[in-house]
Amino acid sequence: MPVFQITAPDGRKFKVTGPAGFTKEQALARIRSQYSAAPKANLKEQNPAEYDPASPQYQAKYGPKAVPFGENFSAGVGKSFVDTGRGIRHQRTQTLLTLLRSRLT
């Protein structure tokens, strides 16, 4: 399996491994298909209203009225059961560790 080391114009290095008969040109094509030299636009700059908590767009997506009360309530109840179970499991583990330590000393 041929292995090619390719350095991008910005200095990033890539190691490309291909099947038998794989050429350097094919390795370059694979890197070009997966790598873009253009910087990606910042999402906050593209749509600042979506990131401003005071904007109506933000409130519609993340605000208290974005999810119906029933869904919020049921999610909260479910989370409380999960958290309680984790607390009980943690307490049992701590109790067992304490018992083991007391018997070993």
State the pLDDT at residue 39: 63
Measured CA to CA in angstroms, residue 70 lies from 17, 61, 74, 86 at distances of 52, 17, 6, 24
* pLDDT mean values, one per 10 residues, the chain (105 residues): 86 89 90 72 77 87 85 92 94 92 86
State the pLDDT at residue 40: 66
State the pLDDT at residue 68: 87
State the pLDDT at residue 10: 78
| Nearest Cα to Cα of residue 63 among 47, 52, 79 | 52
